[in-house]
């Protein structure tokens, strides 16, 4: 495919490259013949895990650095043709407990990366990992990009600020940039050590461990889900398409599924786990947005992207992965870089 051929021999940088989406994207890029630089702080609580790059470690370069380090980022962006900017703090609960760290990572650091590009490499193309969280509680479904941006937590506010920095640098300074507003991404290499970075990874871990999965309320709230390979494909298409420059795009699943039906399917696929319905915790009820699913037609029209991995198949692949490798995700700080 033309957009895949685009990456052969290209110098590509991925911030958050040892994390969930970043490492899966790196695998695609390596297979496409790209020259890949991974930048990751390897802070275990944020999902950076050296085990994620097992099998490609000899075909990528890894720079252990924090995106908050201005001088380091100014150096690292110099030779990148495409930058996939995935580094971030994604926990909504953590952002409410520690808003200043979230501000540093999701706002100030994004500005630093863009300034580094403006001053040292204005020809770079930057694709930002945005989030559907910026919309807040939707007025109508499915949600299009025309919906008001109205986040309900500190993380959503800071993520939309980071996104808008990218758009401003595209419009004003000519640093080509776009943002993908991702819905619930799931799949192999996701952080499952705790439940603060999205519920689906946590549910998958509980099913694999044959434990109880707790659903808040009656489980009727709807969500759409995107398998990580489809998310990686979305980034590849956005990076190769100048038609995406200066725009925001929803990247959502094929159809909405209720929490209740998701867990039933997961338990069926895994053959383990059980479910219990429990009242909402107050700290989560306060920032819950209710049902949400996205309209991704704008991105499909611009790039031809569409989700290809069905939810049942994606869950089966993910369960199989964690059954084989779960210990590497429960204590990642103890892992050393394994041979490729």
pLDDT tens string 212-253? 999 999 999 999 999 999 999 999 999 999 999 999 999 999
Q: List the structure tokens of 101.
A: 């760290």
- Domain membership of residue 28 (yes or no) is yes
Give percent helix, percent strand, percent coil of the chain, each to the nearest 5: 45, 15, 35
- Domain membership of residue 251 (yes or no) is yes
- Domain membership of residue 54 (yes or no) is yes
User: What pLDDT was estimated at residue 333?
Assistant: 53
- Domain membership of residue 1 (yes or no) is no
Q: List the structure tokens of 103.
A: 């501000």
- Domain membership of residue 2 (yes or no) is no
Closest CA to 52 of 28, 17, 86, 91: 17
- Asked if residues 180 and 189 have their Cβ atoms less than 8 Å apart, the reply is no
Overall domain count for the chain: 1
User: What pLDDT was estimated at residue 273?
Assistant: 98
User: What pLDDT was estimated at residue 70?
Assistant: 85
Q: List the structure tokens of 142.
A: 């499915």
- Domain membership of residue 151 (yes or no) is yes
User: What pLDDT was estimated at residue 100?
Assistant: 83
User: What pLDDT was estimated at residue 78?
Assistant: 95
- Domain membership of residue 262 (yes or no) is yes
Longest dimension (CA), the chain: 54
User: What pLDDT was estimated at residue 156?
Assistant: 86
- Domain membership of residue 237 (yes or no) is yes
Give me the domain span that covers residue 231: 7-334
CATH number of the domain enclosing 173: 3.40.50.720
* Mean pLDDT per 10-residue segment, the chain (340 residues): 94 96 98 97 83 96 89 93 88 75 84 94 97 93 96 87 96 97 96 84 97 94 97 98 97 96 98 95 77 97 98 98 95 52
User: What pLDDT was estimated at residue 55?
Assistant: 96
User: What pLDDT was estimated at residue 8?
Assistant: 98
User: What pLDDT was estimated at residue 50?
Assistant: 95
């Amino acid at each position: 495919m033309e957009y895949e051929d685009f990456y052969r021999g290209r110098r590509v940088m991925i911030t958050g490259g040892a994390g969930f989406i970043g490492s899966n994207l790196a695998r695609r890029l390596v297979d496409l013949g790209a020259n890949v630089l991974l930048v990751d702080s390897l802070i275990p609580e944020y999902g950076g895990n050296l085990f994620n790059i097992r099998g490609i470690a000899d075909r990528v370069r890894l720079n252990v650095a924090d995106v908050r380090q201005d001088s380091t980022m100014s150096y690292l962006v110099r030779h990148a043709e495409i930058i996939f900017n995935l580094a971030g703090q994604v926990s909504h609960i953590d952002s409410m407990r520690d808003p200043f760290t979230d501000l540093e990572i999701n706002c100030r650091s994004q500005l630093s990366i863009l300034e580094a590009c403006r001053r040292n490499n204005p020809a770079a193309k930057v694709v930002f990992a945005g989030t559907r969280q910026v919309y807040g509680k939707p007025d109508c479904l499915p949600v299009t990009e025309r919906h008001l941006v109205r986040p309900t937590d500190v993380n959503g506010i800071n993520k939309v600020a980071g996104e808008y920095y990218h758009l401003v640098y595209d419009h004003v300074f000519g640093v080509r940039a776009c943002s993908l507003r991702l819905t619930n991404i799931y799949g192999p290499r996701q952080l499952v050590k705790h439940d603060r970075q999205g519920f689906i990874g946590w549910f998958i871990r509980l099913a694999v461990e044959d434990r109880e999965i707790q659903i808040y309320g009656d489980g009727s709230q709807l969500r759409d889900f995107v398998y990580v390979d489809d998310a990686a494909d979305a980034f590849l298409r956005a990076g190769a398409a100048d038609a995406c420059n200066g725009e925001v795009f929803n990247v959502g699943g094929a159809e909405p599924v209720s929490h209740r039906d998701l867990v039933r399917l997961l338990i069926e696929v895994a053959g383990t786990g059980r479910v219990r319905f429990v009242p909402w915790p107050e700290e989560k009820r306060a920032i819950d947005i209710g049902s949400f699913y996205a309209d991704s037609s704008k991105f499909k029209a611009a790039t031809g992207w569409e989700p290809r991995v069905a939810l049942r198949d994606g869950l089966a692949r993910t369960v199989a992965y964690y059954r084989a490798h779960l210990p590497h995700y429960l204590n990642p700080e103890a892992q050393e870089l394994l041979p490729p």
